[in-house]
Structure 1
Amino acid sequence: MKKIMVAALLTGTAIATPALAQDTTPTFTGPRVEAILGYDHIGAGSDADNQNGRDDQSIDGLLYGVGAGYDINLGSAVVGVEGEITDSTAKSGRFDPTDQFGFGRVKAGRDLYVGARAGFLVNPATLLYVKGGYTNQKLGVLAGNTNQQTDESFKLDGWRVGGGVERAIGTNSFAKVEYRYSKYDSAHIDYMDGATSSEFDIDTDRHQVVASVGYRF
């Protein structure tokens, strides 16, 4: 009887061990949500949006927001779609005209992004990827030399590219670090009375370095 019980326990352990290993193996597939935090830099491009002949005018701040996506594991490669909404603390100084980059005194507002990504698995728990898509940025106009934001804003349209590394933490959670560059080439103004201007050309750059933690369902 003891021999039979020992054999049964050993058999059960042998069966459970591969199953447990399989359950805890990261898949990088399915829907995911994440929290985003990082550094945000918005400034004049090389062709326009500069004042006094300077191309280095910019504002800097803290980026924060949330994102969601869906990935498909193809074996050694992973492809997916994603979107996010973020905000930023970046804004023009009250008395420094060198950080206005052609829009006057502004504060960075919400940013909407939708795009796709593709990458390859360095190992079962680590993904290297690149990404790209559409981005729409809001810049709220500040009143005079105060920190008060008016009801007038700029809406910027552009594209974004980037890349990063994602690391699985257990079966469902993950962390990642990412760099992305955005180029805005057109905009319109939403006026305080509700009117909207025609689209006009701009040349505005955005650099971000962010970290994310999330959960995969």
Structure 2
Amino acid sequence: MREMIGVTMKKIVAILAAGTAFGAVAMPAAAEDFSGPRVEAIVGYDVSQAGSDADNDLNDMDDQDIDGLLYGVGIGYDYDMGNVVLGIEGEYTDSTAKTEYSDGMDYEGFGLGRVDTGRDLYIGARVGAKVAPDLLAYVKGGYTNAKFNVLASDGESELKQDINADGWRAGAGLEYALSDNTFTKIEYRYSNYSEAEFENGDLPDSDRFDIDTDRHQVVASVGMRF
């Protein structure tokens, strides 16, 4: 009798163990929580170029674009609704992009003259969908304000002036949760600047005027949630 009970208990334990193992395999992985405040470091590729209204089609030597390294920081707050994530975000970035001459004729003016790219401020919102438990695909959009630093020279004196440009930004990206509170992102965004003013320079500040400048960026970032 004791042997029968022992055999029965062993069978029950084996069945429970098998069921537990099956449950561990069959149970889907828990989705990461994308809620809460976040901060991130950003780096990527930045190119500004003349928009369609500012193209210089008469000069084949004018590249009409400048490119360089983008770097900065971002903050945001997300609300995880289950399969959908809503968020607000802001950024402060800078760039090494500037106009250059080569062979005495190749001038990368892109419609704004001889400039180097200054700081860029962005504020906007995003909406995302969980395509995997730890992977978020999202689109974004908002307002951007950028500065381009102008430098002109006649050989004897120099003129320094800032161009303060307003525009909008749209983009899309992927965010991968490395852990409960760390993440990495890759993102493409497009910005267009349509109004600007001269300020903070050797000449008096100007009234606002129309421009047409496009900006393309591919960036990666790493960050933390709190």
Kindly tell me: are residues 162 and 53 of structure 1, through their superposed partners in 2, closer, same or farther at Cα, counting changes over 3 Å?
A: same
What does 1:1-217 align with in structure 2 at a 5 Å threshold?
Answer: 26-48=32-54, 50=56, 52=58, 57-94=64-101, 95-144=104-153, 151-193=160-202, 195-217=204-226
Distance in 2 (CA, whole Å) between partners of 1:52 and 1:124 is 53
Identity %: 57
Give the letter for the 1:131 counterpart: K
Kindly tell me: are residues 151 and 144 of structure 1, through their superposed partners in 2, closer, same or farther at Cα, counting changes over 3 Å?
A: closer
* SS, match of residue 47 in structure 1: coil
Aligned residues: 194
Distance in 2 (CA, whole Å) between partners of 1:198 and 1:134 is 20
Task: Kindly name which structure, 1 or 2, has the bigger radius of gyration based on alpha carbons.
Answer: 2
Distance in 2 (CA, whole Å) between partners of 1:61 and 1:145 is 27
Give the letter for the 2:86 counterpart: V
Task: Name whichever of 105-114 and 95-104 sits farther off.
Answer: 95-104
Q: TM-score, normalised by structure 1?
A: 0.82
Unaligned runs of 5+ in 1: 1-13, 19-23
Distance in 2 (CA, whole Å) between partners of 1:191 and 1:76 is 47
Q: TM-score, normalised by structure 2?
A: 0.79
Kindly tell me: are residues 37 and 157 of structure 1, through their superposed partners in 2, closer, same or farther at Cα, counting changes over 3 Å?
A: same
Unaligned runs of 5+ in 2: 1-19, 25-29
Report if the CA contact (8 A) 2:68-2:96 is conserved: yes
Q: Cα RMSD between the aligned structures?
A: 2.5
